[in-house]
A and B are shown apart, each in its own frame.
Chain A
């Protein structure tokens, strides 16, 4: 990234402000501190923790295209699923090494993202939305039909994953899974952060805000969108691969409209297009789901629905939007 300015005196204030925007602020380390602390504070919840990290990564990949590039999709689980099945099938067929398996999952999902993106990103708006839906349904059915390799509706059995670096076994308490998912999430976050602050990322925001103008200044809009879509698909695939490797099972629910919807809701919970929406939305949603489902296993979905309605009615920017408004109010009072 941009190195911190040594001679800030020589720089005009505008430049300084722009550089400062991208500098790592201390508060950005907070999620990681919480994640490390949670390992020691809640040793009974490590499996949930690992699944939360996976969903954060998945939501983060969605944020890249939805929040930054403005591509509305209801089919993002297609890539999550391709990643999960790639990692799972590799392990079943005898390739048990986790990290290369995870990379393969990302690459496979990125390829599917590239091919489908080339086709569907010619459209926009409702047509695009329907096409993303079509893709997730088609892949779901393909996985269902290809039972000889995916296990079909019964799920893919017999996934065995080697210890990471030959040293860290995946244990029943989820310790290894927790750290593994956390480290992958950290790398994913660092990459996305770099990306959205780069000129490429800024051009995505430009496309979202005013696509006509971006055309006018000569930006290759479609190529940028397809690139973003491919990267996002790859990240979603890595998240799916993580799920397959840490739970050692894959079933059709990883490629479903339902999961696409759930991840969208998580992102909206947190706040769209702000990089940290995923970090707030996924944990809040999943912890709320876990706790509500334990307190009331029959009607918990009602409470989730109620929270969602309230959030959409009174907090359009999600939880981060609410925090923003509160900060704004405090500052305004001080003045």
Chain B
């Protein structure tokens, strides 16, 4: 008979080494982890986070480019150690607007938020050749660097922190001074490190931003020393957004943004670096015009804190996920929530657009306007599952635009319950929680348990989906090959029809408990 332990609990199904999507099977290629026995004391305190670093090959024009800095291999340089000691701890940060006012073409500032790296479809991706792509993740008191394209399970390098646990990190491939990796510690200290130097070889301007658990975000200049004591005026009203520039020109950080009460849990720059999105403990998504230093738009979760956010590659949509178990889609044009994904059985801890995804037959339409674009995105949650979603935007947007009845439920802006469906909120305002009756619902294309532990993040790369759990174990799921498509199509167990029919993959909408495909007319009646 069954062993006592298995009889005591409902047997947990074993984890599979693949999962299915309309386009085929994603297979577990290999896993990455850290030495066992590392985490015993830090349980529940520091959550493993993951980023991807594409180390570009040095271009030939730059010559031998011997590192101009003495290769003292001095590992870390404390950027602002004294400033933040005693603050609740760094939460998240991001490289941003490196070339100040630069346009999309510059290809800079791609690295946004904790997981932004994967969703950026940068021109640099040409360098992605299977060499020089690294996974960087923290576990316990150590930061690990692992080669994405090697099937070796063990990290190639470990940076150990004796004073405090690393919590978050960010990578900037354009960093000319070589300090391309930021590491935030639980103590609130920040370190800038040269990943290139850490790994092999190695000029410098730029800024980076760091968000903290006390609701503040600081802008740093990389060229300045962090040793000068910054002086910022006291925060008058902790509930109000306020930007303060440092009194001394020598100060680094140079600017403080007070964003909200409570922690900023995640942030992300739009691909062109114009907008900065933050989500936090207070449940609000805030989108700032980064250069004007002004709130552009934003809104509240259904309830509870928001934990993650990510931009669509074209900068039109933002995914948010949090403690209401929902994945919501924010439209930058409509400045409100336009779709809401139900499917996770616990908090949503990571969201990302698949920027490498191209919708089948998307060029087959005669009216082929951009509004028909299908977006593929993924989400991971504390329910240990990875969910894949499709978002077909014409069907979400059209009902508002061609609303013949002139009004779905509309409440005054003072009301606590509803978004306006026939008007776009004015710039610079925050929206109340969406009313669940009014927002189109999405259902996931696929949902798969991929780890044993709750997940903390995901990244899409050209060849794979990379997932990480809170305890620092990573799995790399290879995208379906061409041969896998037919296999998926013939699989009777799979309920969603093939991706070839554009309309079938459309998000379905759920109204009053019954589920059916979303169409414009259905939605208007509601």
Q: Do A and B bind each other?
A: no
Taking Cβ atoms with an 8 Å cutoff, the residues of A that contact B are none
